[in-house]
Each structure stands twice: as C-alpha cells, then as structure tokens.
Copies of this chain bind each other. A is one copy, B any other.
C-alpha cells in the first residue's frame, strides 16, 4: 500500500489553500452549557459554512490541490449529502467542472440543491454502492478525478483545518467532541489536535445503531453494519473494506466514544434552536447531546463541540422544536 502520511503541515497548507472558499467559523462560547457542566464550553459553528457544513473544507482542499491539468478535466464524486453540496459549491466558486452521482433513493430537493449550484447530477443505480461504482467507472473513462467523501489525504487535511482554527483561537481547549462516521472529520481533527496538544481528549460522538467506525474499532477490523434510520442521517453508512486512512487514524487516536439515542439527538436539535438560535441537522447537533445528558466530569475543563452542519428539512426541525419546547 502506497499510503501518504498526513501531517500538521498538510493541514496548515490546507488552511491557506481553502481561505476565501471555506470560512473560519466562529468558536462561540455557550454560557448555558458552560454553567450546566461547570466547564468552559465552546461551539464551533460549521453549520455557518456557505455550503452548510464542514465538508466544504475537505472538498475545497482536494479540488484546489489538483494540478492545473486535472482541474481542467474536472472532478466527480458520489454523495447527495453534505459532501456533494461541498463539491458543488467549490465547483461554483472555482469554475472546476463537477459531476455528482447519486442513487435513485435520493429525494428530488437534494438533487435540485446541487443543480442550482450549476453542478451536473447523475442518478446512477439503486443504492450508494451502485452510484459509487458508476462514478469510479466514469472517472476512469473521462479522466475525471474522483473526490472521496472521507478516505482521502487531502480531504482529511481539509477537515483538519476545523481543529486548527479551534486550537489556534483557544489553546486551552483540552477536549473535543467530534462527529464520528466515516472518520474524515475525526481523522483530520486527530492529525491536527494530537500534534498541537498531545494529551487532548478526542471524543467521537455518533449514533447508537449502525455506527460503522465504532463497530469496526471494537472488532479491530472493518466490519459491515446494518443501516438503521436515524435523525442524524448524515452519520449513517458503512465503511468500505478498502479503507486506507480513516480507520487506522481513528482507532489510534479516538480516546472515547459516546453513542447518542435518537430521542437525545432530537432534544439536542431543539436545544440548538431554542437556546443557541441555530438551525442544525441531527448530525450537526449530536455533539450537544453529551453536554446536555451525560456526566462529563472526567473530561477536561475546556470543551469544544463541533456543530457540523445545517442540512435539515426546516419543517422537520420545526416539528422537533415544537415537540421539545425549551
């Protein structure tokens, strides 16, 4: 295996590369969560990114790392979610041609959101595996660069800029609450944070059932999981068996994992809306749940929680907010 090592220098280079496309987002103190936990709690507002999530960082770094020639040829990816929106947004800002492949299961409004950015969307196959296969084949045929959603060193370095911003702004942070799914964000955060502050605690936060990375870390190897519907739909999905980067980085660096039941994720979304005045998707709000429902005494005194995205049906958010009045 010809695996590239990802270093803090890569993340610092990514930060320069993506400036002007992805934002340095606010690291906002939460007074109510600070008081509740007897610690200083900060929220990293990645939901404020112009594409609506941190995924823009990785997509931007991968696309801007391409040679001039590769940029001319264009890119292709598979995702109807935040990664697809990230790639489409970078394409709209740079003029790089992008194709996003999605499965037949993807709702029309998600396809239209990417089309509005000027990106070609191809519905290819009945599920994500089919759509990925189609995208990889088309990449080869048309000499396009395939942009992975998470298992790619440039994508990982891009996501790492989230942690770089947090720790440059507040070097006292000793604990990070990070969404854990395919491990792109967590790997980028791990490479960055453990280099800057070796004893920082990295807590992965994810769903209870079908958490592919958690099951794989427990098993010591990549294992398949059953997909169970969750309000944090962005955290669902399996880990491909040919994973090269994120599984190893996560199992070496994640200090603990908190798995959050859907009822608590909904309450975290409601809290985010009522108390922090933020529109958050389930995955975006999930890191608020431990701060609301868990005993975090053993964690450090300065916690930053990443709020990863806003890609929620606003009607659904309103229903959830009305169900959990605060």
Contact = CB atoms under 8 A, between A and B. Distances in A.
A48 interface: yes
A84 interface: no
A279 interface: yes
Nearest to A117: B31
Nearest to A116: B31
A131 B221 CA distance: 67
A29 interface: yes
Interface residues of A, number: 26
Contact of A321 (B26, B45, B318): B318
A244 interface: no
A318 B314 contact: no
Interface string A44-62: 0101101010000000000
A70 to B, nearest CB: 25
A92 interface: yes
Interface stretch (A196-204, A245-253, A270-278, A292-300): A270-278
- The interface centre, meaning the residue of A47, A273, A277 with most chain B CB atoms within 10 A of its CB, is A277
A105 interface: no
Interface string A303-326: 000000010001000100110000
A283 to B, nearest CB: 15
A251 to B, nearest CB: 34
A126 interface: no
A47 B24 CA distance: 16
A302 interface: no
A268 to B, nearest CB: 16
A28 interface: yes
Contacts of A277: 47, 52, 279, 310, 314
Interface in A18-52: 23-26, 28-29, 31-32, 45, 47-48, 50, 52
Given A31-B116, A277-B310, 18 more contacts: A25-B26, A26-B26, A26-B48, A26-B50, A28-B48, A29-B50, A47-B277, A52-B277, A273-B279, A273-B314, A274-B314, A277-B279, A277-B314, A278-B279, A279-B279, A318-B318, A318-B321, A318-B322
7 contacts: A28-B50, A32-B116, A45-B48, A52-B277, A273-B314, A274-B314, A318-B322
